[in-house]
Amino acid sequence: MGKMIYLDNAATTKTAPEVVEAMLPYFTEMYGNPSSVYDFAGKSKDAVTKGREQIANVLGAQKEEIYFTAGGSEADNWALKATFEAYKSKGNHIITTKIEHHAILHTCEYLEKERGAKITYLDVDENGVVKLDELEKAITPETILISVMFANNEIGTLQPIKEIGMIAKEHGILFHTDAVQAFGQVPINVDELGIDMLSSSGHKLNGPKGIGFLYIRKGVKIRSFVHGGAQERKRRAGTENVPGIVGFGVAAERAMHSMADRTAKEVLVRDHLISRITSEIPYVKLNGHPKKRLPNNVNVSFQFVEGESMLLMLDSFGICASSGSACTSGSLDPSHVLLAIGLPHEIAHGSLRLTLSEETTMEDADFVVDKLKDIVANLRSMSPLYEDFIKKQNK
């Protein structure tokens, strides 16, 4: 086996060397607790402040509006649960979509079952885009929050965030977005887009795992999430993850500076992959919006192929990918996102997600397509469904 080709950057990314380098001294030499008073601890406190500034810069936010968490899932939980608690005297209705990450969907289900919330799960169109007229129609006097993800983690579709922000503002409703996949990949300005809360996570943009943040616009009266010490302006207690914050700050700055060049390069490789796969392999469909999609996302469905089998065979060639089918999620149902864009179960089961990084080359892409052609042909040759289909075609 040759080198590994890692095409699962939506699951997690390689921590960039300069990120690791920036973090190391905060394990070894500058290990002080930012809350302590002596000069030594001040270095840790300064590092946390710098990380906060670096991240606020990327969003056009103020550093006091960034609250560090232990990752994207925590930020999503916080945004929904604490907004609900703080605003439930005003109303109990939250609007979200059917294609959110489970950190949002399962939190909504909890609020619905245990806390008396009413949740509207908006449909999306065949490209995975929220329908703005249906969003407007779903709003009631009880609506306190709209939560729509910035970019989908499976099919890469980007949502009309600015339009959603405008609708929320017109109706005096808070707007939260799960931007875990979008932060550092597409330009985001919270003021221009009318975003009140935004979740992100370090490990999706070449930062460390276990660190994320929730942006909370000044004036939003959301409850504290962790009670204890006075960290994060008393809203999220616990000694700060100083190395994580330092690493996330460097990763965010790095992602912002390299965004234009990096994503332009990724788009070329992405479109090359899409064009070769859809033209050279029969009975295949691209999932997600053809244009309004993350620069590094390819998601395709092959008829008469099982996604899991495809992943195992790709793995045997050192190719790391992901599918929208059964076993990965521990359930027999295919991905809720693929079902929401209208794919029948059997086609959703044959899905493949390839998510690129700045290191993915055209040669990598060609190697993957060459292998994929053989794998799909091979799996189809073993499929009784495919055999029947071909027989019918030839009649």
Ligand X SMILES: *Cc1c(COP(=O)(O)O)cnc(C)c1O
180 binds ligand X (CB under 6 A): yes
Single out the residue of 248, 355, 381 nearest to residue 8, CA to CA. Answer: 355
335 binds ligand X (CB under 6 A): no
73 binds ligand X (CB under 6 A): yes
327 is known as an active-site residue: yes
Return the number of the residue (32 or 72) whose C-beta is nearest ligand X.
72
350 binds ligand X (CB under 6 A): no
* Min dist. Cβ of residue 241 to ligand X (A): 12
353 binds ligand X (CB under 6 A): no
Q: Is 202 annotated as a binding residue?
A: yes
Return the number of the residue (103 or 155) whose C-beta is nearest ligand X.
103
288 binds ligand X (CB under 6 A): no
Distance CA 157, CA 143 (A): 25
Return the number of the residue (178 or 253) whose C-beta is nearest ligand X.
178
Judged by CB under 6 A, the residue of 52, 93, 101, 349 near ligand X is: 101
Q: Of 264, 268, 312, 327, which is the active-site residue?
A: 327
Size of the site for ligand X (CB under 6 A): 14
Q: Is 203 annotated as a binding residue?
A: yes
355 binds ligand X (CB under 6 A): no
* Min dist. Cβ of residue 122 to ligand X (A): 16
- Angle of helix 362-381 relative to helix 307-315, nearest 10 degrees, comes to 130
Cβ(57)–Cβ(292) below 8 Å = no
Cβ(48)–Cβ(242) below 8 Å = yes
Judged by CB under 6 A, the residue of 13, 107, 157, 181 near ligand X is: 181
Q: Is 201 annotated as a binding residue?
A: yes
* Min dist. Cβ of residue 155 to ligand X (A): 11
- Contact positions toward ligand X, by CB under 6 A? 71-73, 76, 101, 103, 149, 153, 178, 180-181, 201, 204, 212
Annotated binding site: 72-73, 153, 181, 201-203, 239, 327
